[in-house]
Structure 1
């Protein structure tokens, strides 16, 4: 068990606490020893946002810090911004993976890996916050609020965040970088932050300050957004007016740093899917961009409380059916009318009969009340097959040969050209995809391609001659290594013919 571990600061990443532990114990350059000390294993990885092996850490700190896994997840990781927007099973699995030693699938389960909203490439910090930390605490640390996707400023100081030199997911997977050693002394540039940006920032911050670790599920969020659209008048004739919502959000986010996260058009996109049946989870930033505009007076805690009151699963409706079975006499009348219609229009199929003024209602009645009889007494399916377009393969073959000869004539004398492969020649022709599929029907084209396609060795010889010519023009000595480098030929690809050509060119260049 550990006998010392630094007390976490407010909103500090667990990653930052471990980095300070390494610095305090003088082990900055022995990070594997830090991993062993903290997690009692060598398999843990330095993950800033959603770390794993938390059970090991809690047990190892039990004598000096009475904490638990949920407290670490809620107060010192970025999990609280993702979990409420996942399903309950997804959220539970994420928390379980973070607690266990199997953390390789956490970013996939939260949807981070597949999202187009990317995490920051580097750790970020506010120069004014860093200066205050150094003045009041004697050291710096990495706050969670500065590492959130999409946020590029510190609202507290109206200051743009500075980008450090530390990768957010470091290449050295066992290395914990301390903010005190990585944050440079900078004055910081002022940022223009409007009220809409501040509202989104406050929602982001509230998710971290009041962590909600339960997944609310797709059905609840779907119902919430549909109810919200109805309350705000974005539903007409039971249809959500997606374009109106898009243009409203576009107006609100115009000129903001978050504008780039809006869809490029009002057509099918994540914003449309947000107000439809949820078949996947959406990035927290997208939820907050919509919520901060449509419910600006509500806090995110109030929103989550409203969502939680909705049903977890779709409610199954019970259909109470009333018997409407028609009498035999009425059925016979409708059968007779249908038979008369078949005799009157013998050339029409079912679709044609249903387009008639008397045929549509009659077909619908029989479909509901005498289905089996109707299926046995309907016209045969109309033939929908149309005569196939006849292709003149011979003429097509001749046109291909003319085109191929022209291409070969224009390229064969060039030294700086691509290799003349079968695929290259085909792509120079019109309807290239169709040619590839119908080569068996184009014998002349197939034969021409087989005769004129350039082998790798032939192309390498051409490149060698080109390399030789460049060497002579630049008044350089003809050397084997120089020819191979200019011709871009690897040693393992040198054949007897290539070797013979190299020796010949070297001798000729003397």
Structure 2
């Protein structure tokens, strides 16, 4: 039996509690610690920093006077409330029971993290100012839940950027480490993000905090999608029947969120991709959706997450049925239509339609066979339009494309990715610019289009040149901030280090 537990702080990760317990007890062996707390003799101890398991065994091992329950641990000291907040009750309970009794495998798979494009951070994160205040007031610090949320960039209390600690959370073999001077420091990160990014992110974190602090009522996915359709209908982005205007939705979403901010939030919307995540997101399917993207979408709609959970009914898509009740006798309508035909000899059906507006529509819909029998067809050969000189147009469009690329490359500030959409936007044309007969233009755009990797390298070089011109010291960390990349991405840091070697 465990004789004591350290005081548990608000929003403290369960991992942090165990880490402090280990330090207080002076236990050097992780294996002995796991056996002491969880009575586990196989190598099945802490499978995850975010989703601990075998909590029923842990609680049963507490002193009889302890009031700490499994429900309190899971709801107040793990990431369970965030990652299951958009699950049904049934699936939420499955994850809860897996943490309670032990699943034997990674619970990240159950909550959809393993296959998601939105990844958790690789390191435990913290606010350097919270760390400083903890050390001054408490004499110790602890790992909080909020900084570990994907997309959490700023501390809501101090409005400064979160930092990566030295504690890796993606390796279950790691030991239990405290938030102390060995893993954290008080140095602030240099914030080069626009103020808009901070405001957007702090609003995002308000909704995240609500999910952590409230035991929200779960809604199944169909209800949530119907809720989104209802709100989009109110904004004119869906029809009365609930059909979504996808192009209008994408345009509005990208007008609300800057593309660089979406990159930080691991949610870039590639408008050239036939099925980007935003198109799939609003479809009623069983695809996994990250809670981060649910919150992004609610924020775009201007809705607090609380409103979703307090809504009791939705409409979603619906079939509109129009019951037509004729005001006039059918014979009377037929007589009027025959009069129009007689008074306008030689008129074709389109012309008769314009002359008999309303009457034509009713007869065409409700008396179609009679209409086809009595209404003449006047065949007129349309004059053939002048054919387009595609070769000439291709040369003109090629010149426009090259000019647009030049403007994009010469533009001041952070580089803009060379893509068909940004090239078209610079020229001021629509998708007709992708016509198959514009062969040279299409070939040039395909050759000039940047991959995400090449674009990142160009942004990194831009950041380095800017820092050199301003006399700043070049480090991987500072270049990463200048280029606008979020923390926790090992691949980007390696790319920056590789590019920096070219400047030495």
Equivalent runs, 1:98-497 vs 2, <5 Å: 98-173=99-174, 175-191=175-191, 192=193, 193-194=195-196, 195-212=199-216, 215-236=218-239, 238=241, 239-254=243-258, 257-260=261-264, 261-265=267-271, 267-295=274-302, 298-306=303-311, 309-310=313-314
Change in 2 beyond 3 A, CA 1:109/1:211: same
Provide the residue aligned with 1:442 in structure 2. none
User: 3-state DSSP class of the match of 1:104?
Assistant: coil
What are structure 1's unaligned runs of at least 5 residues? 320-360, 363-510
Change in 2 beyond 3 A, CA 1:275/1:99: same
Measure the CA separation in 1 of the matches of 2:108 and 2:176: 19
How far off is 1:116 after superposition?
A: 0.5
With structure 1 as the length reference, what TM-score do the two structures score?
0.57
Measure the CA separation in 2 of the matches of 1:121 and 1:168: 6
Provide the residue aligned with 1:21 in structure 2. 21
Measure the CA separation in 2 of the matches of 1:103 and 1:310: 39
How far off is 1:124 after superposition?
A: 1.2
CA RMSD of aligned residues (A): 2.7
How far off is 1:316 after superposition?
A: 12
How far off is 1:240 after superposition?
A: 0.5
How far off is 1:103 after superposition?
A: 4.4
| Residues 98-126 of structure 1 deviation map (CA, whole Å, 9 limit, x = unaligned) | 10122415211211111000110111111
Measure the CA separation in 1 of the matches of 2:25 and 2:128: 26
Provide the residue aligned with 1:11 in structure 2. 11
Measure the CA separation in 2 of the matches of 1:171 and 1:83: 21
Question: Which sits farther off after the overlay, 192-201 or 31-40?
Answer: 192-201
Query: Is contact 1:218–1:280 with CA below 8 Å preserved after alignment?
Result: no
| Residues 451-494 of structure 1 deviation map (CA, whole Å, 9 limit, x = unaligned) | xxxxxxxxxxxxxxxxxxxxxxxxxxxxxxxxxxxxxxxxxxxx
| Residues 328-374 of structure 1 deviation map (CA, whole Å, 9 limit, x = unaligned) | xxxxxxxxxxxxxxxxxxxxxxxxxxxxxxxxx99xxxxxxxxxxxx
Measure the CA separation in 2 of the matches of 1:46 and 1:180: 23
Measure the CA separation in 1 of the matches of 2:307 and 2:190: 32
How far off is 1:268 after superposition?
A: 1.9
Measure the CA separation in 2 of the matches of 1:41 and 1:268: 46
With structure 2 as the length reference, what TM-score do the two structures score?
0.58
- Residue 59 in 1 paired to residue 65 in 2? no
Measure the CA separation in 1 of the matches of 2:255 and 2:109: 33
How far off is 1:226 after superposition?
A: 1.1
How far off is 1:199 after superposition?
A: 1.1
Query: Is contact 2:85–2:211 with CA below 8 Å preserved after alignment?
Result: no
How far off is 1:30 after superposition?
A: 1.1
What are structure 2's unaligned runs of at least 5 residues? 322-367, 370-504
Measure the CA separation in 2 of the matches of 1:264 and 1:132: 42
Measure the CA separation in 2 of the matches of 1:95 and 1:181: 34
How far off is 1:87 after superposition?
A: 2.7
How far off is 1:155 after superposition?
A: 2.7
